[in-house]
Amino acid sequence: MIKSSLTGRIGRLAGDNGPERVLIAASFVNRVGNGLFNAASALYFTLVVGLPAVQVGAALTIAGVIGLCAGIPGGHLADRRGARTIMMSALVVQALSMAALVLVESWAVLTVVATVDQVAAAAGGAAAGALVVRVGGDRPARFRAKLRTFVNLGVVLGTLGAGLALAANTRGAYVTLILGNAASFALCAALLLLLPRYPVLAPPPAQRRWGALTDRPFLAFTALYGAMGLQYPVVSLLLPIWISEHTEAPRWTVAALFAVNSLFCVLMQTRIGSRIETPRDGGRAFRTAGLLFLVSCPMMALAAYAPVWAAAGLVLAAIFVHSLGEVWESSAGYALGFGLAPDHAQGQYQGVLGLGFSAGQALAPALLTTVVLGLGTTGWLLLALFFAALGAAGPSLARWGMRTRPQPAVAAEATG
């Protein structure tokens, strides 16, 4: 009986129906591969291939900037040709480009291969957003919360596998990671064949072709979401530097904070995210996230003034609060990002949202290291106020967005 109950709970967590379970499984496999690759890619190109770190950084930056431009047209193509088809095509391209990385011996080749990979990733990401809406049905935000739970778990498992290769530190180990990531793209594409062919939704007659680019409430949300996305590099970049250079906390605290952050997000994403469905819910969740970051950032700053064990305790408590804010923020993003986008143009809208988020992530390292680290404690307090101000705009933005959406009667007339 206990075993049956546990199996049932796991089954419900993994999806309410066959298509949900297929997409969760495909995404999980892909993210395990991503975790394998991301943790060791830079070391492979610098230590094994022998490229200078500056060249590797330049190649990846060029690829990332060019890739940003592919999300919106890729999403539009998904809306008109089918999200599953475009996502599968992008995954196949990524599988091939990832496998080609083992042949890279020069900066120019790395730049070309990485650019192809990033273009496919941006287009595939927008198509994936549209596919989530079709698979998730009436509750896409709830499904996306479940999906993100397994995505986070996949990255954690992949990163653990990468640790074994890093310990071995041989060319064969690094090549295995790269080819493992390539295989994950191919397997993900194959699993998507199990999904039904969702029909393309025709736009209303008066709908603009590039409506996402003229939708002011959605563009405003995209800007807020991209800015709030600075909270991710706070954990991955800013806090580790702060711990090592400005606190007496033990160095193992850096590893502990990643473990706490990942584990907490895995455990709480579905529990919290499943309750945040509508844009109105999303606006309130965005505000809650800002308030949680308002608490966590000063706690991180105070660690610089505490003795060893108190500093470690403050950092871990801060990352707990910050992780809670991350779950609320991501759940708000799903509710608003899906809820404000029309069903027939989800891919295009997700492409716009992805562009805004990626632009924020590209600017984040320079902003956080120069402003926050440069100003020290003052910088942390300013960052906390910045996050709180962004969050405070969430409810009013949600109301604005809902006022400017087509009313049900109007939408029915347009599609009739």
Residue with tokens 């473990």: 259
> Which amino acid does the sequence have at 43?
L
Report if residue 204 sits inside a domain.
no
Cβ–Cβ < 8 Å for 151, 32: no
Residues 271 and 398 in one domain: yes
Report if residue 205 sits inside a domain.
no
Residues 387 and 250 in one domain: yes
> Which amino acid does the sequence have at 289?
A
50: left (phi over 0), alpha (psi -120 to 50) or beta: left
Residue 188's CATH number: 1.20.1250.20
Residues 172 and 222 in one domain: no
On the 0-12 / 13-18 / 19+ scale of CB atoms within 10 A, 262 is middle
Say how many residues make up the chain. 416
Contacts of 412 (CB under 8 A, 6+ apart): none
Q: What are phi and psi of 67, to 5 degrees?
A: -60, -30
Domain end residue (candidates: 163, 192, 221): 192
Report if residue 200 sits inside a domain.
no
Residues 20 and 168 in one domain: yes
* Residue 286 CA to its chain's centroid (Å): 16
- Vertex 235, ends 234 and 241: CA angle to 5°? 80
E-strand stretches of 66-171: none
**DSSP readout, 320-337?**
HHHHHHHHHHHHHHHHHH
Report if residue 81 sits inside a domain.
yes
First to last CA, the chain: 51
Residues 171 and 275 in one domain: no
Cβ–Cβ < 8 Å for 326, 261: yes
Q: Which two tokens stand for residue 270?
A: 């579905």
The pLDDT of residue 7: 42
Report if residue 201 sits inside a domain.
no
What is the count of structural domains for the chain? 2
Report if residue 243 sits inside a domain.
yes
- Rounded to an integer, what distance in angstroms lies between the CA atom of residue 55 and that of residue 347? 34
* Residue 214 CA to its chain's centroid (Å): 24
Q: Which two tokens stand for residue 37?
A: 């690759």
Residues 9 and 127 in one domain: yes
Cβ–Cβ < 8 Å for 136, 145: no
Other beta carbons within 10 Å of 220: 15
Residues 411 and 366 in one domain: yes
Residues 394 and 344 in one domain: yes
Residues 399 and 347 in one domain: yes
Report if residue 197 sits inside a domain.
no
**Structural domain for 33, as ranges:** 2-192
Residues 135 and 243 in one domain: no
The pLDDT of residue 362: 83
Report if residue 390 sits inside a domain.
yes
The pLDDT of residue 12: 53
Residues 335 and 298 in one domain: yes
Residues 185 and 267 in one domain: no
Query: pLDDT (tens digit, 0 to 9) for every residue of the chain, 416 residues total?
Result: 444 443 444 455 555 678 899 999 999 999 998 888 876 777 788 888 888 878 888 888 888 888 888 888 988 888 888 889 999 999 999 999 999 998 988 989 999 999 999 999 999 999 998 898 888 877 776 788 888 889 888 888 887 877 777 777 788 888 888 899 999 999 999 999 999 988 888 777 766 677 788 899 999 999 999 999 999 989 888 888 888 888 888 877 777 787 788 888 888 888 888 889 899 999 999 999 999 999 999 999 999 898 988 988 999 999 999 999 999 999 999 899 988 988 888 889 999 999 999 888 888 888 888 888 889 999 999 999 999 999 999 999 999 999 987 765 444 433 33
The pLDDT of residue 410: 41
- Rounded to an integer, what distance in angstroms lies between the CA atom of residue 177 and that of residue 175? 5
Give kind and range of the element (H or E) at residue 111. helix 107-136
